[in-house]
Amino acid sequence: MEKLWTPLILVNLKTYKEGTGKRALDLAKKAEKARDKTDVCIGIAPQYTDLATIAKSVSIPVFAQHIDPIRPGSSTGHVLAEAVKEAGAIGSIINHSEMRLKLADIDAAITRLKELDLIPVACTNNPKVSVSTAALEPDYIAIEPPELIGTGIPVSKAKPEVITETAKLVRQVNPKTTILCGAGITKGDDVSAAIRLGAKGVLVASGVVKAKDPYQVLLNFAQAASRL
């Protein structure tokens, strides 16, 4: 891969009703419009069932929400990296707080993604776990204190030390890994604060997916990121 996008605003649609099926596609188009207006990269991580439709309908990067560290064969119900790639994903979130993996499986999932030229975005819950994960060389680490997820209380304001500490420690272990942060991000100010603290972008869900006007929120995020 040539280069990673920074800043990156990655929108995880999770399993929200507002981010499922046609509404997922609608959100992806709004994200694309906000990207076109600002030139800040906005990626989207829909459910597996929406990956192919979205990937062929928009030109923004599309990520899976998870893959399993398996190879093609007999793994009923698991998610194969080859399958998300063929559906149009260019990478995958792994180890989200809502889909945690053992360290050995994070390692194997990162390896599987890289074998296929897919971009791993590995989530972590604190600076110490970020350091262990950085040693596995994912392209992105997204630090998200689980207790702030979905609260509207932004990590960049409630726990700034989590971002600064992660940025400092990860840089020592693996300066090539790009750091994102997430949890409770709802405003442009939260995004600017995150970037000032050392993150290169944000991983966000409810602040966009459940917003009255997701386009305006994404535009605010992207404008805040582009000002720095």
Q: Note the residues at the interface with ligand G3P (CB under 6 A).
A: 12, 96, 144, 149-150, 182-185, 203-207
Residue, CB closest to ligand G3P: 206
Least distance from ligand G3P to the Cβ atom of residue 183, Å: 5
Name the catalytic one among 144, 147, 161, 165.
144
Least distance from ligand G3P to the Cβ atom of residue 189, Å: 15
Least distance from ligand G3P to the Cβ atom of residue 82, Å: 24
Residues 6+ apart with CB under 8 A from 224: 188, 189, 191, 192
Query: 3-class DSSP state for residue 91?
Result: strand
DSSP string, 128-168: HHHHHHHTT--SEEEE--GGGTTTS--HHHH-HHHHHHHHH
On the 0-12 / 13-18 / 19+ scale of CB atoms within 10 A, 213 is exposed
CA 153 to CA 156: how far, in whole Å?
Answer: 9
Phi-psi region of 124 (alpha: psi -120 to 50; beta: other; left: phi over 0): beta
Least distance from ligand G3P to the Cβ atom of residue 105, Å: 19
CA 204 to CA 19: how far, in whole Å?
Answer: 13
Question: 201: which strand partners?
Answer: 8
Name the catalytic one among 2, 18, 78, 96.
96
Least distance from ligand G3P to the Cβ atom of residue 202, Å: 8
9/167 with CB nearer ligand G3P: 9
53/124 with CB nearer ligand G3P: 124
Residue 96 annotated to the active site: yes
Could you tell me how many residues make up the chain?
Answer: 228
Residue 144 annotated to the active site: yes
Order of strands, edge to edge, in the sheet holding 119-124? 41-45, 8-12, 201-204, 178-182, 140-143, 119-124, 91-94, 63-64
- Catalytic residue numbers read 96, 144
